Amino acid sequence: MRKIFISTAIFTVSLISAQHVGINTVSPDASSVLDVVSSNKGFLAPRINLTSSTMDLDGALGQAAGLLVYNSGTTLSKGYYFWNGSEWRIIDNSTSVAPSVSNIDCTTAILSPSMYTTGVPFTGILKVSYVGGNGGAYPGGSPVTVNGLSFQLQAGKLAIGAGELIFIVSGTPTITSPTTTTIPINSTTVPFYTGSCNATVGGQDIAEIKIAATIGPLKLTNDPSTGYDRILTSPDGKFSVRVVVSNTPPNNGFDLADLQIRSNTGTPTIMWNGATEYVTNGQIVYGNNGMTFPAQGVWYGNGGGSGTSMGGAITDAWGDPDIYFGSPEYRRYTWTTTSASDQTMYILTFMMGAANFGPANATNCPGGTCTTTKAFLRIEQVRSTN
């Protein structure tokens, strides 16, 4: 009897494996290989302790792309992962909370390009800022057409806190800038928003402003030699600036720290102006109408030496050498590239305070952090939207 049962089971499995397989259904979907049906239970994938993003489950190479597991370990964040052929990728673990914001500020609306002309086809985007986002995913909105231009919110995911909503804009304008266009922002254009306001654009050639800032102590660096620095990168990633002090005497006093700049993209030529405000002599200003970076990824602008113009050597100061003159100096640097197609201006503001002048060494910077220093760097990036 046992032999008959086993034979029947094998025959049944073979029959099912050649067709569509259904669990809790006698009519699996024709487009599926496996159709699992339940109204009150879920599918439980294998629970695996993934210890690295390239872990082989069976210890052998060649696991199939598309493999799905749930990581229950702690090395990688918990959640569902799939194997893409070379590494484990997490499936987006976003909150499923209904999207909401506390306010949409229509006065921040930016149209890019910012100007339009009657009868000339237009394609661009509209950005409108919000605050109080809860991280929820949201659907696209219904399109609204004003002055021949169609505005439609694109689906996305809210930031936790402040962020921007993106609308696709297309059509053929029936008016020409500076005549403005007013777009209603309400539950039709933004489905999850219960408030309302009007975004007005097209009246002037405006620029987009993005800001990056950092504040805190100097920390150990070995780029390109041992010292202590604090770095800030422009919002577009093209430039980085830092305040840096050497740990090598006699140039290792915190008052001898210097500002440096680095190109992260190619070797552009920049025009720059820098002003230093300090006690006693008031203000001193430096500038250069065409400074070309000799290399990408290299810091330029003094390293404890002297100089008044930033040149090809790291010993040429970016403006006035040393960032202290009895008390903290306040610095402002403005630069842009000489490329006619690059309509971007950068404005750096800087100040650093130090409870004592060091020296910068392991004693005054325990664990690699100079706790008595406080450096502030802020880059305002202004870019044309046309």
**90 burial level (CB within 10 Å; 0-12, 13-18, 19+):** middle
Task: Write the pLDDT tens digit of every residue in 294-323.
Answer: 889 988 886 543 333 344 444 467 877 888
* DSSP conformational letter for 367: G
Higher pLDDT, 146 or 306: 146
Task: Write the pLDDT tens digit of every residue in 352-386.
Answer: 998 888 899 999 999 999 999 999 999 999 998 77
The set of residues, in sequence order, having a beta carbon less than 8 Å from that of 88 and lying 6+ positions away, is 50, 53, 54, 55, 71, 76, 81, 82
Q: Mean pLDDT across the stretch 163-181?
A: 97
Task: Write the pLDDT tens digit of every residue in 335-355.
Answer: 999 999 999 999 999 999 988
* Percent of the residues in the chain that have a pLDDT greater than 90, as a whole number: 63
Question: Count H helices, E strands: the chain?
Answer: 1, 24
Phi, psi (degrees; rounded to nearest 5) at 324: -130, 140
pTM over 0.85: no
Question: Residue 385: which of 118, 116, 104 has the closest Cα?
Answer: 116
The set of residues, in sequence order, having a beta carbon less than 8 Å from that of 257 and lying 6+ positions away, is 218, 243, 244, 245, 322, 323, 324, 352
Higher pLDDT, 323 or 130: 130
Q: By three-state DSSP, how is residue 163 classified?
A: strand
Higher pLDDT, 133 or 280: 133
